[in-house]
Amino acid sequence: MSRVEALDVEEVDIVDIIGRVAAEDLASDIDISPFAHAAMDGFAMRAEQLAGATAENPVELDVIAEVPAGAWYDGDIKEGQCVRIMTGAPLPEAADAVVKYEIVGIVSGDGRQGSRVAFAKPASVGDNIRAAGEEAKAGEVIVHAGEVVHSAGVGFLAGCGVTRAKTYRRPTVAIIATGSELVDPTEVPTQGKIRNSNSYALAACAVDAGAIPTVLPISPDDFEGLKAEVLAAAAKYDFVVTSGGAANGDYDFIKKVVDDAGELLMVTVNMRPGKAQTFGIVNGTPVFGLPGNPAAAYLGFEMIIRPALRKMQGYSHFDRPHVKARLIGTQKKKDPRRIFNRATLSKDDEGYLVTPAKNQSSGLFGPIQKANCFVVLPEGDPCVYEEGALMDCVMLDIPEEVLL
């Protein structure tokens, strides 16, 4: 996190800023609404005209005009008169209340201009009226720099005359799967080969984090070849992610590549799955080498790379929401590392429940597809967590800025 910063700013159409961070204060060019208007269909008058109205002794008024949305009535409303008004129509200057249509009786006519209507109870000043400038005043900042713009915010901006806005550029991410055993998903693997699934999962993770991924060709287990690909990717993209070759085997080269081509900063993390996590800087570009096991690669991206990509987009929240949940079944912790087990959260009347997946193999994507959280077994001595134990769970399907 200390090695990445927010990227440069770009200006986009407001529809394209949804879910992104505003890089500037955005202000309204007019009062919103620019005029007081009716909040619903009804009749406009002065509230004092209905003082003393009851069901037994209703006040009757003549309908002298109609004001549909988009029109305007600037005449007077004398004693014994009212104006038929539609939702969103400007409130006549002579009126200070609107009575909704459904509770007004028709004495004669059809309720439109020329009719006579009856009111069975008093009204108060301001009833069913939206005041001018109620939501924003001209020049008022409606979205502040650093604020995430949601879909309703896009509508708010449009109503305030803002059609383009500045936001932080989405980071471009190069995805490189390493391993001579890999073939493309379009191929049927022959003996000793497996399909490259990691690249596509990691590209999807990048999209989910707001980044723009590019899946590059598979890199065979070759030091010089991988070095050339990393150097080329570092020159073109904002972030480089590799999978495979992050351990200490004879054909694991990403650590050596980063160390040789740039500055090697990290090679292991005290977690499971995915102890082998390589990170460094190559020609100013962050390069992260994830393990080859699918669950280990996914966890490393989710817990370490995703926060960095969010920081590059100007976000201020970096951790997924955590909740406490009661454990269903038992969990044996045999490793001193911090363990992130794939699990499913549910809820009963007493709170959250968490059920770990039966198969916690680091080589499987399937349990992650069915999971909605990681249940965390803290680092420390081996132990057993009994059923009902209160466990910390990292939510996987809720954005970072959501408060639970």
Distance CA 319, CA 338 (A): 17
Write down which residue in 312, 346, 365 finishes a domain.
Answer: 312
Clarify whether residues 199 and 266 are in a common domain.
yes
CATH of residue 329's domain is: 2.40.340.10
CATH of residue 241's domain is: 3.40.980.10
Residue 402 falls within a domain, yes or no?
no
What value does the mean pLDDT of the chain take? 96
Residue 293 falls within a domain, yes or no?
yes
Taken as a whole, the chain contains a residue count of 404
Clarify whether residues 149 and 28 are in a common domain.
yes
* pLDDT above 90 for 251: no
Domain count, the chain: 4
Domain that holds residue 367: 322-395
Query: Against a cut of 0.95, is the pTM above it?
Result: no
Radius of gyration for the chain, computed over Cα atoms and rounded to the nearest angstrom: 31
**pLDDT, tens digit, 9 for 90 and up, residues 163-193:** 999 999 999 999 999 999 999 999 999 999 9
Clarify whether residues 106 and 140 are in a common domain.
no
Residue 24 falls within a domain, yes or no?
yes
Clarify whether residues 304 and 330 are in a common domain.
no
At residue 249 the predicted structure's pLDDT band, cuts being 50, 70 and 90, is confident
Mean pLDDT to the nearest integer, 349-370: 94
pLDDT above 90 as % of the chain: 97
Tell me the sheet residues that pair with 373. Answer: 343, 395
Residues 6+ apart with CB under 8 A from 393: 322, 323, 324, 325, 343, 345, 352, 354, 373, 374, 375, 376
- Name the packing angle between helices 254-261 and 223-236 (round to 10°): 60
Residues 6+ apart with CB under 8 A from 350: 326
